[in-house]
Amino acid sequence: MTEMNQLNRMIQQHILEHESRLKHVDELLERAQQKIAKEDDAAEQLAKAKQERDKLSSQVEEFKVRAPDQWSEADFERTGPMVVWDTLAQQLEKLVERMER
């Protein structure tokens, strides 16, 4: 496999990982929105989660339009954004669990 094909495959995998997390967060946001009562605390948490989701979604869109020659090895090795996705999902899962009781 040529180096360019391998890079393209890594880019696509990276984007798919982010899109997968985005889908999970969107599902949790939808569940929370459906269950939300007039709890000010829950509404505030949901609003913050939506803001964070929108920031992360913007990153995914940036990844999609970035040319292959603009990617670096560090882009694939950085776990920071994935940790943010996972943290956001955990917060939403707890909020949804609390609301569905």
Q: Check: pTM over 0.85? Answer yes or no.
A: no
Asked whether the beta carbons of 84 and 52 are under 8 A apart, the reply is yes
- For residue range 24-48, what is the model confidence (pLDDT) as tens digits? 999 998 888 877 765 667 788 888 8
Q: How far apart are CA 20 and CA 55, in angstroms?
A: 15
Asked whether the beta carbons of 49 and 92 are under 8 A apart, the reply is yes
| Residue 28: strand, helix, or coil | helix
- For residue range 43-71, what is the model confidence (pLDDT) as tens digits? 888 888 899 889 888 888 888 888 888 88
**Domain boundaries, given as residue ranges, for the chain:** 3-100
Both tokens of 79, joined, read 């776990």
